[in-house]
Chains A and B, each alone.
Chain A
Amino acid sequence: MAIEKTYAEINAKIKSGSVVVMTAEEVISLVEEKGVSEAARQVDVVTTGTFAPMCSSGAFFNFGHPKPRIRMQKVWLNGVPAYSGIAAVDAYLGVTELPEDDPCNSNYPGEFRYGGGHVIQDLLSGKPVKLEAVSYGTDCYPRKDLETYITLDDINEATLFNPRNAYQNYNCAVNLSDRTIYTYMGVLKPDLGNAHYCSAGQLSPLFNDPNFLTIGIGTRIFLGGGIGYVAWNGTQHFPGIQKDASGASYGPAGGTLSVIGDLKQMKPNWLVGTSFIGYGTNLTVGIGIPIPILNEEVMRCVSVSDRELFAPIIDYSKAYGQRIPGNLGFASYADLKSGKITVNGREVITAPLSSYPRAKMIADILKEWITSGDFYLTEPVRLLPSHKDGITAKALEVKDL
């Protein structure tokens, strides 16, 4: 008989303490041993995790109104500009934003020691952050400038709202040129000197729900050490299936998530300000998503292992920057994690940018939350587009004016 479970049934088991939860790593051997049907019968929830730099992240703030009031036209937090083209004392701070006096790459490769991501981590660490604002002054908002210190406790709202996180899959970056290059994928040594990848592979949330059968708008998640929600699909949500020139399938390509949550209940060890030499700043974000085992098909999807997941190998010295289509082949996450892959017939050493040990900790924490009855699952208000929706990427055409 086919196995069917509802969100309500799983939540009832969480409440009664009888829920069975496994991580996406643990469930692989269970399915190998007992098969999909038996595993689906035994397990109610599978937890996933990822901990990696996620550029499209940031936070909305409401600072509260000073006396006299100001319509903040420009805002800086520890010297890092925040976007304030919204209501009077609201602002959005993006994690890749840099201080206005940062030398950037004028002394190449630049260090990029501090940016928006670091401000967010400082706020979470309880450190006072300098707030500066200027304005033109209006009849209702007479103040023209402001300089003070704030902490996370002092302000009304701080909402982490990340437009694109949790990439389903990501490129494996290499360098075919004869010089070292500095990228958002780290330092790539010349002449295939190394290869960098960035995914938790078999633990990664969207690799475990490749057809978007369970993750959707309103899904409750682990976000930055606290609770968050899936808000929407992420920007550049292209949940296609990657294929090689012969048409052979290499699994999911690149769905993404937009996520939201109250920053005040998050933790500085799960939202970490990050710097890439020669590139810029970022925020390393911890995300964990529970996958309810609604049926055998969902169980089959979560039992995927690193051997069956593949990253496209891309040259970042030319092909990436110049948008030259194609790739140098695919590498399995099992091979990427082994420390060596083969590219153009040569052995190339690999290193990750995504922390597998931290991804595993997130999946374990989420498992503990659910098992102890502190975390209930939510049924999505609407599921997200999948590969069946045929979404393809649009390029920006630079028109002659």
Chain B
Amino acid sequence: MSPKKIILRFGKDISTKPVIYHLAKDFDLVFNILKASVDPYKEGVMVMELTGEKYEQGLEFLKQEGVRVQPLAEEVSWNQEICTSCGACTDICPTGALHINRPSMEVEFESDNCIICKACVTVCPVRAMEVKF
């Protein structure tokens, strides 16, 4: 089977547990971590590619451990025509995908760094961020 991209979200109670280690050891899954971050409140987000015979069992294990699993099928898009470069999203975006280019102060969006958390979608005052499926 080909690798599947998934997003894992951890609460602060899980971020100290070695759940990814168990994916490899107990389920013989091959993982490739694309992005990982733990915010100051110990809540973590990880985007990874995952392959192996016991893929479904591995996902079940993650869910039992309290990890929220989501396929990376959605996409957040930036409507540059609507965006006013106000910047209100840039300190809400957890990965810096939305950031201010200095000194021009123009807002930029690097979709490769987006982990589809959708925080920007509700925060954007002019609704320039849209979720696409």
Report which A residues bind B (CB closer than 8 A): 51-53, 111, 113, 186-187, 189-190, 193-194, 196, 272-277, 282, 284, 337-339, 349-358
Contact = CB atoms under 8 A, between A and B. Distances in A.
A342 to B, nearest CB: 16
Interface in B16-42: 40-41
B123 interface: yes
A272 B88 CA distance: 15
Contacts of A354: 86
B127 A275 contact: yes
Contacts of A282: 125
Contacts of B110: none
Contacts of B87: 351-353, 355
Nearest to A278: B122
B113 interface: no
A355 B125 contact: no
A273 B125 CA distance: 8
Interface string B79-101: 00000111111111000000010
Interface residues of B, number: 22
Contacts of A352: 86-88, 100, 105
Given A339-B102, A351-B89, A356-B85, 18 more contacts: A111-B122, A113-B127, A187-B123, A189-B91, A196-B88, A272-B84, A274-B125, A282-B125, A284-B126, A337-B103, A350-B91, A352-B88, A352-B100, A353-B88, A355-B86, A355-B105, A356-B105, A357-B85
Nearest to A337: B105
Contacts of A353: 86-88, 125
A351 B100 CA distance: 9
B104 interface: yes
* Interface SS, B side: loop
Contacts of A53: 125
B106 interface: yes
A358 B91 contact: no
Interface string B40-57: 110000000000000000
A225 to B, nearest CB: 13
A339 B100 contact: yes
12 contacts: A186-B123, A186-B125, A187-B123, A189-B91, A193-B40, A274-B126, A277-B123, A284-B86, A284-B126, A349-B91, A351-B92, A353-B125
A371 to B, nearest CB: 23
Nearest to A272: B126
A161 B44 CA distance: 48
A284 B85 CA distance: 12
What are the 6 closest A-B residue pairs judged by CB atoms, nearest first? A356-B105, A351-B91, A194-B91, A352-B87, A274-B125, A357-B85
Contacts of B102: 337-339
B106 A357 contact: yes
B88 A284 contact: no
B87 to A, nearest CB: 4
A276 B125 contact: yes
Nearest to A349: B91
A187 B92 contact: yes
A69 B91 CA distance: 53
A154 B8 CA distance: 54
Contacts of A284: 84, 86, 125-126
B90 A351 contact: yes
Contacts of A339: 100, 102
Contacts of B86: 52, 284, 352-355
A354 B91 CA distance: 14
The winner among B90, B123, B125 for most chain A CB atoms within 10 A is B125
Contacts of A273: 126
A352 B92 CA distance: 12
Interface in B57-93: 84-92
B11 to A, nearest CB: 16
Contacts of B127: 113, 275
Given A187-B92, A350-B91, A355 B123 contact: no
A120 B104 CA distance: 29
Contacts of A356: 85, 105
A347 to B, nearest CB: 12
Nearest to A356: B105
Contacts of A349: 91
Given A337-B102, A352-B105, A51 B84 contact: yes
A131 to B, nearest CB: 24
Nearest to A277: B122
Nearest to B83: A355
A273 B100 CA distance: 22
Contacts of B85: 355-358
Contacts of B92: 187, 189, 194, 351
A275 B128 CA distance: 11
Contacts of B125: 53, 186, 274-276, 282, 284, 353
A355 B91 contact: no
